[in-house]
Amino acid sequence: MSHLVTDELLKQVSKPARYLGTEWNAVHKDWDENPAHMVFIYPDLYEVGMSHLGLAILYGAVNEQPGMLLERAFAPAPDMEDLLREKGIPLFSLESHRPLTDFDVVGFTLQYEMSYTTILNILDLAGLPLLAAERGPGHPLVVGGGPGVANPEPVAPFFDCFLLGDGEEALPELLALMGRLKKEGWAHDRREVLARIAALPGFYVPSFYDVTYNTDGTVAAVVPNRDGIPARVTKRVLPDLDAAYFPTRPIVPFLEVIHDRIMLEVMRGCTHGCRFCQAGAIYRPVRERDLAVLLGQAEELVRHTGHEEISLTSLSTADYSRVEELARTLAAAYEDRGVSVSLPSLRVDAFSVRLAEAVQRVRKSSLTFAPEAGSQRLRDVINKGVTEDDILTATAEAFQAGWQAIKLYFMLGLPTEGEEDLLGIAGLARRILHQGRELAPGKKPTVTVSVSSFVPKAWTAFQWEPQDVVKVLQEKQQLLRSHLKGPGLRFSWHDARVSFIEAVLARGDRRLAAAIMAAWRRGARLEGWSEYFRYDCWEEAFEETGLDPAFYAHRQRQEGEVFPWDHLDFGVVKGFLLRERHRARAGELTADCRSGRCTGCGVCPDLGVDLRLKGGPVDRAPAGEV
């Protein structure tokens, strides 16, 4: 243990195991023998960060390479933060307990917008200047990755560079470059280092691009400000997951974390094409892992972790071509060893329920579905591809199989939503409850309706749409609440003010960095936790900086508008998204390219990658009309 983290310090905080770094399978590489050093930071508490599969993958992918090491750090809990500030101790990595400033690269994963103030807090606790422009030769490079880089512009001034897309190959390439630059004596020259990084595929250096604005405040252009910098940066994509690194010796935490189980990634990407879904767009195309590869990985994971549950993870696991074979084989193989199989994301259909029933050794108390909208009209607008029949058949199957609690997820404030769509949510919940009482007589079925608020995101068909103002969202929540009273019905909702800030940041530009900084200075941090979210910090921050949050969240954007993220390329073409927007308005469904024809999103030709399905002879969707 380094001198920074003493027994005395750990005795004064709750859950000291968050800061130990000596968990089962943690990697402690020799600092001097591995000249390229990176710390990967999940900007939230340990329990959240250690549930993140991306961290486990990149931790292993870098540490298995000679000459480089990757350690972890997380946001300290408030009690630890107070102590660090009081005693003047800089934030440290877990494995070697070194200050973050000792590393060559400080990497953050941008999982959600509400972590941005926490990122600033971590930089401050590390003793690093917040703005990239203020960092000098002795400072580490601050790198960002993850889904937030779909539009990193609001945090661009804080970062030296971003990695777009899959990191398994790209991150070791970055560290290999850093190792070379250190050896050649260039590491002190920040501009030279950044120029060399910008030449690596998938890396975006925001300071090499100038943003100009129109008089109405919209972006006029984002253009490179030096020679040799690409006009657009294209995301990295692994064409074949079977050939990619996957961690089979992940770290097993000492304390309970959010997802305390094996996460077996069966595929990456989703082809459903829900029009609000950013993940469904930016992780395309779908690449499945081979069944034999997955079975081999599962065996090693069970052996090396001692976990009692294998979770088959992806954006939509029931879509995996051989999901039934995989789930049943794993359930049978590990039943005797007390290891169960779970499907975290159920599709709204009877097949998913039957599969969950067949493989889940321990019957969970509730089953969750996400119809997203309460009427067929609105479900068609968002391209959900689910009918009321599908929903009722799935819930009937669940009640018959013995589940008594059903949870339903919906989104409020979707484009074109009216009162009848909202009342449709309550009506559907009541029909399901009635069904439960009929199918499970003598039992006490419950239906919980959980609503979030629609946040328009970059790279979706709804990226042009305004978000409902907070008051309207609250009125909609109130309306639903009044219609979801009575025995057996439950209602929960998210704070609409959080969704509003999320919407401001999700489609914001570089000017918003000033507001993020002002909000942090006023005490905003750990805002993914409702108990720490402080709306007043944001209200004051917008006032101080003169930035109008409504301009970002509530404005109807013009179809010809240049977006702050237009110089980034995630493969999906803007013309496709625009067409999807028009189809949404017309209530037209667009087919899933997994089983039908290619619907022309542009990802496969743009990135030179095909769909990789493992279910049959057709490995690629044929080209054709929607």
Smallest gap, in angstroms, from Cβ of residue 597 to ligand SF4?
Answer: 8
158 in Cβ contact with 130 (< 8 Å): yes
Stretch that binds ligand SF4, among 109-117, 168-176, 436-444, 602-610 (CB under 6 A): 602-610
611 binds ligand SF4 (CB under 6 A): yes
Smallest gap, in angstroms, from Cβ of residue 268 to ligand SF4?
Answer: 12
For residues 496 and 476, give the distance between their C-alpha atoms in angstroms, rounded to a whole number.
Answer: 10
Report how many residues bind ligand SF4 under the rule CB under 6 A. 13
Which of the residues 282 through 301 are near ligand SF4 (CB under 6 A)? Answer: 284-285
Query: Where do we find the tokens 């968002």?
Result: 382
Smallest gap, in angstroms, from Cβ of residue 54 to ligand SF4?
Answer: 21
277 binds ligand SF4 (CB under 6 A): no
Nearer to ligand SF4 (CB atom), residue 271 or residue 317: 271
- Give the one residue of 599, 612, 613, 614 binding ligand SF4; rule: CB under 6 A: 599
584 binds ligand SF4 (CB under 6 A): no
621 binds ligand SF4 (CB under 6 A): yes
Stretch that binds ligand SF4, among 31-39, 90-98, 290-298, 597-605 (CB under 6 A): 597-605
| DSSP of 429-483 | HHHHHHHHHHHSTTS--EEEEEEEE----TTSTTTTPPPPPHHHHHHHHHHHHHH
513 in Cβ contact with 154 (< 8 Å): yes
For residues 273 and 460, give the distance between their C-alpha atoms in angstroms, rounded to a whole number.
Answer: 9
Nearer to ligand SF4 (CB atom), residue 476 or residue 614: 614
For residues 25 and 39, give the distance between their C-alpha atoms in angstroms, rounded to a whole number.
Answer: 17
- Give the one residue of 51, 234, 248, 271 binding ligand SF4; rule: CB under 6 A: 271
- Give the one residue of 598, 612, 613, 614 binding ligand SF4; rule: CB under 6 A: 598
Fill in the amino acid letter for 192: E
Nearer to ligand SF4 (CB atom), residue 285 or residue 413: 285
- Give the one residue of 604, 612, 613, 614 binding ligand SF4; rule: CB under 6 A: 604
In three-state secondary structure terms, 223 is strand
377 in Cβ contact with 421 (< 8 Å): yes
Q: SS3 sequence, 234-282? A: ECECCCCHHHCCCCCCCCECCCCCCCCCEEEECEECCCCCCCCCCHHHH
Contacts of 497 (CB under 8 A, 6+ apart): 470, 533, 535
379 binds ligand SF4 (CB under 6 A): no
Nearer to ligand SF4 (CB atom), residue 316 or residue 477: 316
Beta bridge partners of 224: 209
- Give the one residue of 411, 601, 612, 614 binding ligand SF4; rule: CB under 6 A: 601
593 binds ligand SF4 (CB under 6 A): yes
- Give the one residue of 473, 519, 603, 613 binding ligand SF4; rule: CB under 6 A: 603
270 binds ligand SF4 (CB under 6 A): no
DSSP 8-state code for residue 212: E
Q: In which element (H, E) is residue 105 found? A: strand 105-109
Site string for ligand SF4, 540-579 (x = CB under 6 A): ----------------------------------------
Site string for ligand SF4, 477-506 (x = CB under 6 A): ------------------------------
23 in Cβ contact with 119 (< 8 Å): no
Smallest gap, in angstroms, from Cβ of residue 582 to ligand SF4?
Answer: 17
In three-state secondary structure terms, 51 is coil
* Rounded (10°) CA dihedral 40, 43, 47, 52: -60
171 binds ligand SF4 (CB under 6 A): no
> Which residues make up the interface to ligand SF4 (CB under 6 A)?
271, 284-285, 593, 598-604, 611, 621
